[in-house]
Amino acid sequence: MIVRPKLHWLRLLLVWHGSVLPNILRRLVLMLAIAVLAVASHTRFQQLGIHLSLAPFSLLGIALAIFLGFRNSLCNERYWEARKLWGGLLTTCRSMLRQAQSLTGRRPDDPEVAGFTARLIALAYALKHQLRATSYEAELARLLPAELATRLASAHYPCVLLLRELADWLSRQHRDGRLSDISRQSIDTNLNRLSEIIGGCERIAGTPIPYAYSVLLHRTVYLYCLLLPFGLVGDIGLLTPLISVFISYTFMALDAIAGELEEPFGIEPNDLPLDALCLTIERSLLEMNDVADLPAPMQPNRYHILS
Amino acid sequence: MIVRPKLHWLRLLLVWHGSVLPNILRRLVLMLAIAVLAVASHTRFQQLGIHLSLAPFSLLGIALAIFLGFRNSLCNERYWEARKLWGGLLTTCRSMLRQAQSLTGRRPDDPEVAGFTARLIALAYALKHQLRATSYEAELARLLPAELATRLASAHYPCVLLLRELADWLSRQHRDGRLSDISRQSIDTNLNRLSEIIGGCERIAGTPIPYAYSVLLHRTVYLYCLLLPFGLVGDIGLLTPLISVFISYTFMALDAIAGELEEPFGIEPNDLPLDALCLTIERSLLEMNDVADLPAPMQPNRYHILS
Amino acid sequence: MIVRPKLHWLRLLLVWHGSVLPNILRRLVLMLAIAVLAVASHTRFQQLGIHLSLAPFSLLGIALAIFLGFRNSLCNERYWEARKLWGGLLTTCRSMLRQAQSLTGRRPDDPEVAGFTARLIALAYALKHQLRATSYEAELARLLPAELATRLASAHYPCVLLLRELADWLSRQHRDGRLSDISRQSIDTNLNRLSEIIGGCERIAGTPIPYAYSVLLHRTVYLYCLLLPFGLVGDIGLLTPLISVFISYTFMALDAIAGELEEPFGIEPNDLPLDALCLTIERSLLEMNDVADLPAPMQPNRYHILS
Amino acid sequence: MIVRPKLHWLRLLLVWHGSVLPNILRRLVLMLAIAVLAVASHTRFQQLGIHLSLAPFSLLGIALAIFLGFRNSLCNERYWEARKLWGGLLTTCRSMLRQAQSLTGRRPDDPEVAGFTARLIALAYALKHQLRATSYEAELARLLPAELATRLASAHYPCVLLLRELADWLSRQHRDGRLSDISRQSIDTNLNRLSEIIGGCERIAGTPIPYAYSVLLHRTVYLYCLLLPFGLVGDIGLLTPLISVFISYTFMALDAIAGELEEPFGIEPNDLPLDALCLTIERSLLEMNDVADLPAPMQPNRYHILS
Amino acid sequence: MIVRPKLHWLRLLLVWHGSVLPNILRRLVLMLAIAVLAVASHTRFQQLGIHLSLAPFSLLGIALAIFLGFRNSLCNERYWEARKLWGGLLTTCRSMLRQAQSLTGRRPDDPEVAGFTARLIALAYALKHQLRATSYEAELARLLPAELATRLASAHYPCVLLLRELADWLSRQHRDGRLSDISRQSIDTNLNRLSEIIGGCERIAGTPIPYAYSVLLHRTVYLYCLLLPFGLVGDIGLLTPLISVFISYTFMALDAIAGELEEPFGIEPNDLPLDALCLTIERSLLEMNDVADLPAPMQPNRYHILS
């Protein structure tokens, strides 16, 4: 995620540099070269009776804009659904910790509460690593008892097993007479919610946008931009390179943004800052336990990007 | 579902080969032939005073793009609703198994829990076969006691009867004093959720997109592509075949993708991988029961397609 | 609802015949006549200094396509909301019957359960007749005790009174010690859901799409199609009838489909098959009661239409 | 709300007369005058070297159509959200009355039930008057005990105080041993739902569509229509008045409809029929109490408009 | 938020003055200057063989309109989601206060109820200050006991700690035998809802629209407007300044509105009136406690803006 800086142009260039532009800059240079070629060869082609006009490009360009708008809608919805699921994770963890304190009548600094909190925090980190397919062993070892961390390290669905651990904690409180049937139900409902959040994230990570949309549009946009200068040159002559690079930039950038948003759990500049979100969950839950010494919040890097 | 491979061109061609293109390749060849015919007959038609221009095709083409975008929206929403329902099936099964363990106080390796799990897994497989109209006898026989499997095999709505079986399991636990009224309510609420998921899938499978949309647009797109070369030829002459095939490709491919997404429970390349989803449910539930030996996850075939 | 047949062209024509086309066929013939008139009178009008060009029709045509897309969105959403409400009716009835069996501990063939089931089925039929403003007396007499059927026959909101009957059934079970407070709550929540479904259907049936949208667009589309040939004739001469009928067909068909979907509870070919949905509810509930002899499912008529 | 009459043209004109057209008719006459002026002054302007072409109007017209479609979407969503909230009000009132009868075991004709019903009906009327900023004293005096009606008459948020009254009724039943804790919870949940409905209506009434959208588009549409004849005249000469009035009509009517839907609680022809909705709530609740003599349903006025 | 005044033109200008226009007025003057320059230099450029036509601007302009429509959709959805969250805050606070009164059987003027109310009101103000990154110390000191206000003043997530305070209040009532398990569950569910509202607001404030959309479109719109006069001048000559300023105004205003709505918690004219919303919550809750002397409601300033 790119944090929106105040609009000072020099810093803006820096942000941009860490973002979409570099990916398409080389392609824009190629487009420029082709546009120059189109201008240079225009007379030659005309003598051969081969010519294009802008009209079919207008038709196809507007159709492409409609389809690109559609694809961007899809990708953007995925991105926000993913973000909402992580927002729900924060919210539900806070609610469950509040309930684990108030419904059992335990104080915030009770070690039992600390154990519950550690499992909630571990759940967030485990989910992050599962979605990014990175290794979560070190992080779980930091947060959980050694025996549990080892058991989870070899699991295929560690987050689901952590939910079972949380349910076991509730059963223990219930057995100890600390938690009534009704109160256990209240927390159990939130466990269902966590299960939905985990399943929702797995769905987004595991089911791409129908592949044909991405390939079809990506391909069509690039072919369109390649042919465009030849359609423009009869109309605007020497200014063809300027205008065709401008139009290509707009279409290719929208195609590139959609491509980044499509997989919101990646580590590209426009993806979700899962590291920062995990840290927020950790900080907020620890503060609820009156822990004085919270870990420092994450700062954006010099490209204004949170990982 | 097509798994997104890294973009190596040779493999991409292979993917594509297993996907939408073949369906429309023959039609593109036809379009090419017609475009060549349009170029060849242009002068002849003009002598007869019969001529077209691009302007009406611009108008109709943009209108078609708007309507195609609308149809793709509809079909895509169906696809994702279906996917979310199956994601909800996984999520709810996990939640119910967690509850069946923790609220009854049974251990993960308790045979009663195994019986409950088997009914949940059978539900997923039965739903898959119902939606694809394939035979589920073999699969139910593998998972369930013989008597139950036989009884379900002749049912019209086997999934609904499986819900009744799950409710019976709960009643038994309740009678044995293992499950309080409140805790039974918590699981019963998830049974309602399963009922909604089954009903939602039946709705998608049983109610097509209003038929007129599909037929009308399909028909209009093809007629449009057939006439297009005659509109282009006066404007761009010899390049008519190139441009008209390009435009036809874009429109026909979007029409074809919509057609595949429209019925998400089918077995075409862009449809939902119900086999893989059932296997994920089976693997995840068995792991929650500490079963050591999980069935292997499904691998995409050589066209990167999960069935 | 039109059931999607396999695409054999002869049968397709038959389907189409039962669908949208006839409604607009006469209008298309009128458009053809006007287009021929436009061609014939072209020279005469030009001598009078009266001429049109295609450019304003391009502008207005694209604007109309955008607005038609908007109206089709609206109508289509209504259609699917109505379909989802009926899907929810099936789902909720199944859930309530499952609960009425398992939470009271009654067997599927208990006469008390049969009475509850009859009231659920009667609710579906009563809702259908209320929405279509047809008479439900016969159907209620078939399903319910005579006294109750008579009482409902004179009611203004029979579905709401049936909900009260279902609640009375629950109170009776509760008084007999068959249903705990908690379990009654579980079923009562589903009664609320039924109330929402009934209210939702009443809303769709009682509140049309803002009238101005339908009238405005319908009127504008037809005026547009009437004038179009005069705009085309200067550009494409003799081919004006072909192209203007093609464009008119696309616009008028989309307008006509929207008009059918707008009132999903009607009995036109693209409307919801409420007869078949009621029968599915009846069949599914009876099967849950182990009734051996289910009524036969409905078959589409020879135009592939389910009523 | 305009009730959709059968399409007889004479009556249709009457409906239309009560609807959007009059608001824009005068403006259309102005547009006609300007178009005639544009035709008359065309030669004069050309001699001065001042001329317009249609091309920039095509560009801007399509852009405007896109933005108008966007604004109509917004306004239409508000309208339907408001309608759904009122549908939810009907549904929730019915559910609460059903619960007040069956969960307390009171008969429909019990005076206590009648008091509860009166407060529900008063809530609907109070909400209507609050949203339309009209006086609700008379209506509350008709429905409620004098003391309560007086107290509410001076309240800033009377609906919220009525919710408190309903909660007091529940507490009384609970104190009398008529309502268990669980059953009170079931009804209390519906009180929360009423609170959401009231808050939702207040939000729609109190927060307009971002003001700039309405002003910007309204202003741009009118300026566009004013300039349009000057762009058309070079192209289509004498037919300029016909076509420019046609295009202006389409754009201005869509702008006007959006303006009416924007504030769904008003009393313009396309607004919500709150009077009729309140009466439906009253009739349906009274029928649930077996009141024989229901107030008559509202009839549309001669313009087919329900207020 | 701008309150919609009656449309008197003089006042409308005043409103407008406090709104979007000033931000883009200087830019429009720049556009005018460039358009004049384009007219003046037209002949000179043509002699150099450098010329533009309107056709590529039509294509790009329509594509931009589609993308601007998409961005405005995104920003507008954020705005309304934020508004709904604050509406939910009002609704949930009212529901919780009603429950705190009726479920504990406490009278509205009970000091315990007043303490609960103060914490709810403080929550709204704390959330406002957190979202706007302003200091909440003074406001909390006004509403809460000194010890609590101090403790919250140094917190990172004060709203979350206030939820814990509210839960503690419930535990106290429960310990005193004033609140049954079931009734505590009812209020606890609303605490979860508050947690979701807080998390939702944090999400909107903390996660901007993908940065590339804003930058890309903003940049493209301005470059487009800069080049547009040179495309228009060949077509419409002396009227270029008029038309290009008109088109630029439409595009730049839509871009500017989207920019304001994008961050709904700011203090620009089109942002949410959080001050007024907090005051409404305070007034409505105090009235529920029968407090006679409510703080006065907020009045819009002379630009019709609520802060």
* CA-based torsion, D154, D158, D162, D165: positive or negative: negative
The reply to whether residue D63 touches residue E58, judged by beta carbons under 8 angstroms, is no
Answer whether C57's CB lies under 8 Å from C226's CB. Answer: no
Exposed e or buried b per residue across B137-156, where buried means at least 16 C-beta atoms within 10 angstroms of its C-beta:
eebbbebbeeebbebbeeee
Model pLDDT, residue E305: 72
Q: Does residue A213 register a pLDDT over 90?
A: no
Three-class DSSP category at E180 = coil
Answer whether A216's CB lies under 8 Å from B253's CB. Answer: yes
Q: What are E13-18's contacts with CB under 8 Å, separation 24+?
A: E14/E302, E14/E303, E14/E304, E15/D211, E15/E303, E15/E304, E16/D215, E17/E303, E18/E269, E18/E301, E18/E303, E18/E304, E18/E305
What's the rounded Cα separation, in Å, for the pair E183 and E172? 13
Suggest the residue from E85, E86, E95 to mutate for an interface test with chain D (most D CBs closer than 10 A).
E95
Measured between CA atoms, how close is B225 to chain C, in angstroms? Answer: 13
What's the rounded Cα separation, in Å, for the pair E88 and C297? 46
C220 in contact with D, Cβ within 8 Å: yes
Measured between CA atoms, how close is E194 to chain A, in angstroms? Answer: 9
Q: Does residue D7 register a pLDDT over 60?
A: no
What's the rounded Cα separation, in Å, for the pair B120 and B190? 12
Average pLDDT over residues A75-87: 96
The reply to whether residue B181 touches residue C185, judged by beta carbons under 8 angstroms, is no
> Closest-CA residue in chain D for E58?
D59
Q: Does residue C303 register a pLDDT over 70?
A: no
Residue carrying the six token digits 């809303």? C203
Average pLDDT over residues A62-79: 93
What's the rounded Cα separation, in Å, for the pair B49 and D210? 55
**Residue-by-residue DSSP string for D53-103:** -SHHHHHHHHHHHHHHHHHHHHHHHHHHHHHHHHHHHHHHHHHHHHHHHHT
Element (H, E) at A103: none
E3 in contact with D, Cβ within 8 Å: yes
A91 in contact with E, Cβ within 8 Å: yes
Instruction: Give the orientation angle of helix A181-206 with respect to helix B55-102, to 10 degrees.
Output: 140
**Ranges of H-type helices in chain E:** 9-17, 21-47, 55-102, 111-132, 137-143, 146-153, 158-175, 181-206, 211-236, 240-262, 274-288
Model pLDDT, residue B102: 96
Average pLDDT over residues A32-46: 92
Exposed e or buried b per residue across D147-169, where buried means at least 16 C-beta atoms within 10 angstroms of its C-beta:
ebbebbeeeebbbbbbbbbbbeb
The reply to whether residue C98 touches residue B167, judged by beta carbons under 8 angstroms, is yes
What's the rounded Cα separation, in Å, for the pair C91 and C120? 12
Chain B positions touching C102 (Cβ under 8 A) are 164, 167-168, 170-171, 188
**Ranges of H-type helices in C176-266:** 181-206, 211-236, 240-262
What pLDDT band is residue B3 in, cutting at 50, 70 and 90?
Answer: low
> Closest-CA residue in chain E for D175?
E105
Neighbours of chain D (3+ CB pairs under 8 A): C, E
Chain E positions touching A253 (Cβ under 8 A) are 212, 216
Report the length, in residues, of chain A.
307
pLDDT single digits (tens) E184-231: 999 999 999 999 999 999 999 998 888 778 888 888 999 999 999 999
C254 contact partners, CB below 8 Å, separation of at least 6: B67, B216, C68, C72
Q: How do the residues of chain D divide into helix, strand and coil, expressed in percent and rounded to 5?
A: 75, 0, 25
Q: Does residue A15 register a pLDDT over 90?
A: no
What's the rounded Cα separation, in Å, for the pair B292 and B288? 10
Residue A239, both tokens? 């200014």
Closest partner residue to B270 (CB to CB) among A53, A199, A212 is: A212
pLDDT single digits (tens) B73-131: 999 999 999 999 999 999 999 999 999 999 999 999 999 999 999 999 999 999 999 99
Average pLDDT over residues E89-104: 98
What pLDDT band is residue B17 in, cutting at 50, 70 and 90?
Answer: very low
The reply to whether residue C287 touches residue B160, judged by beta carbons under 8 angstroms, is yes
Measured between CA atoms, how close is D62 to chain C, in angstroms? Answer: 6
Suggest the residue from C187, C254, C261, C281 to mutate for an interface test with chain B (most B CBs closer than 10 A).
C254
What pLDDT band is residue C144 in, cutting at 50, 70 and 90?
Answer: very high
Distances (CA, A) of E5 to A228, B231, D133, D260, E137: 49, 52, 16, 15, 35
Better pLDDT: B179 or A2: B179
Measured between CA atoms, how close is B303 to chain A, in angstroms? Answer: 12
Suggest the residue from E47, E78, E216, E232 to mutate for an interface test with chain A (most A CBs closer than 10 A).
E216
Model pLDDT, residue D17: 46
What's the rounded Cα separation, in Å, for the pair D220 and D71? 13
Chain E positions touching A12 (Cβ under 8 A) are 215
Model pLDDT, residue E17: 46
Q: What angle do CA B200, B202, B206 make, to 5 degrees?
A: 120
What pLDDT band is residue B191 in, cutting at 50, 70 and 90?
Answer: very high
**CA within 13 Å, CB half, D167:** 32
Measured between CA atoms, how close is C58 to chain B, in angstroms? Answer: 5
Distances (CA, A) of B14 to B5, B6, B19: 11, 12, 9
Instruction: Give the orientation angle of helix B211-236 with respect to helix A55-102, to 10 degrees.
Output: 140
Model pLDDT, residue E209: 85
Measured between CA atoms, how close is B203 to chain C, in angstroms? Answer: 6
Suggest the residue from C157, C201, C211, C265 to mutate for an interface test with chain D (most D CBs closer than 10 A).
C211
Model pLDDT, residue A301: 76
Backbone angles phi, psi at E2, to 5 degrees: -100, 125
ipTM of the complex: 0.91
Average pLDDT over residues A103-125: 97
Suggest the residue from D215, D219, D220, D221 to mutate for an interface test with chain E (most E CBs closer than 10 A).
D215
What's the rounded Cα separation, in Å, for the pair B115 and B121? 10
What's the rounded Cα separation, in Å, for the pair D210 and D43? 43
Answer whether D124's CB lies under 8 Å from D144's CB. Answer: no
The reply to whether residue E53 touches residue A288, judged by beta carbons under 8 angstroms, is no
The reply to whether residue C56 touches residue D88, judged by beta carbons under 8 angstroms, is no
Measured between CA atoms, how close is A162 to chain E, in angstroms? Answer: 21
Suggest the residue from A48, A68, A71, A160 to mutate for an interface test with chain B (most B CBs closer than 10 A).
A160
Distances (CA, A) of A209 to A33, A76, B13, B65, C271: 33, 11, 19, 20, 31
Closest CA to C101 of B119, B164, B161, B193: B164
* Lowest pLDDT segment from B71-85, C253-267, D27-41: C253-267
Measured between CA atoms, how close is B149 to chain C, in angstroms? Answer: 16
Measured between CA atoms, how close is C254 to chain B, in angstroms? Answer: 8
Measured between CA atoms, how close is D150 to chain C, in angstroms? Answer: 33
Q: Does residue D11 register a pLDDT over 70?
A: no
Closest partner residue to E87 (CB to CB) among D51, D170, D203 is: D203
Please give the mean pLDDT across all residues of chain D: 90
What's the rounded Cα separation, in Å, for the pair D111 and D124? 20
Average pLDDT over residues C16-24: 59
C85 in contact with B, Cβ within 8 Å: no
Closest partner residue to A61 (CB to CB) among E59, E181, E215 is: E59
The reply to whether residue C87 touches residue B200, judged by beta carbons under 8 angstroms, is yes
Measured between CA atoms, how close is B289 to chain A, in angstroms? Answer: 10
Residue E18, both tokens? 């406090």
The reply to whether residue E2 touches residue D196, judged by beta carbons under 8 angstroms, is no
A12 in contact with E, Cβ within 8 Å: yes
E46 in contact with A, Cβ within 8 Å: no
The reply to whether residue D102 touches residue C171, judged by beta carbons under 8 angstroms, is yes
Residue A140, both tokens? 């779980």
The reply to whether residue E199 touches residue A251, judged by beta carbons under 8 angstroms, is no
Element (H, E) at C280: helix C274-288
Average pLDDT over residues B191-204: 97
Residue E282, both tokens? 């305070």
B146 contact partners, CB below 8 Å, separation of at least 6: none
Please give the mean pLDDT across all residues of chain E: 90
Instruction: Judge residue C299's burial from the number of C-beta atoms within 10 Å of its C-beta, 0-12 exposed, 13-18 middle, 19 or more buried.
Output: exposed
Model pLDDT, residue B21: 61
The reply to whether residue C95 touches residue B160, judged by beta carbons under 8 angstroms, is no
E50 in contact with A, Cβ within 8 Å: yes
Average pLDDT over residues A194-223: 90
The reply to whether residue C235 touches residue B55, judged by beta carbons under 8 angstroms, is yes
Average pLDDT over residues B243-272: 89
Model pLDDT, residue D267: 84
**Ranges of H-type helices in D137-239:** 137-143, 146-153, 158-175, 181-206, 211-236
Model pLDDT, residue B22: 67
Model pLDDT, residue C45: 87
* Lowest pLDDT segment from A9-18, A215-224, C209-218, E176-185: A9-18
Three-class DSSP category at E305 = strand
Model pLDDT, residue D270: 81
Closest partner residue to E72 (CB to CB) among D58, D70, D198 is: D70
Closest CA to B90 of D135, A159, C96: A159
Measured between CA atoms, how close is C253 to chain B, in angstroms? Answer: 8
What's the rounded Cα separation, in Å, for the pair A273 and A254? 21
DSSP state of A238: G
Three-class DSSP category at D177 = coil
Rg, Å, chain D Cα set: 26
Longest CA span, chain E = 94
Q: Does residue E299 register a pLDDT over 50?
A: yes
A238 in contact with E, Cβ within 8 Å: yes
Q: Does residue A107 register a pLDDT over 90?
A: yes
Average pLDDT over residues A50-78: 91
Average pLDDT over residues E121-141: 94
Suggest the residue from B59, B62, B79, B280 to mutate for an interface test with chain A (most A CBs closer than 10 A).
B62
Average pLDDT over residues D185-206: 97
What's the rounded Cα separation, in Å, for the pair D248 and D42? 20
What's the rounded Cα separation, in Å, for the pair E202 and B306? 38
Answer whether B217's CB lies under 8 Å from B67's CB. Answer: yes
The reply to whether residue D243 touches residue C56, judged by beta carbons under 8 angstroms, is yes
**Ranges of H-type helices in A158-304:** 158-175, 181-206, 211-236, 240-262, 274-288
Backbone angles phi, psi at B168, to 5 degrees: -65, -40
Q: Does residue A17 register a pLDDT over 50?
A: no
What pLDDT band is residue C17 in, cutting at 50, 70 and 90?
Answer: very low
E9 contact partners, CB below 8 Å, separation of at least 6: none
Measured torsion, CA atoms of residues B238, B239, B245, B251, in degrees rounded to the nearest 10: -120
What's the rounded Cα separation, in Å, for the pair B238 and A49? 8
What's the rounded Cα separation, in Å, for the pair B233 and A49? 13
Instruction: Judge residue A176's burial from the number of C-beta atoms within 10 Å of its C-beta, 0-12 exposed, 13-18 middle, 19 or more buried.
Output: exposed
Average pLDDT over residues E116-141: 95
B170 in contact with C, Cβ within 8 Å: yes
The reply to whether residue D287 touches residue C157, judged by beta carbons under 8 angstroms, is yes
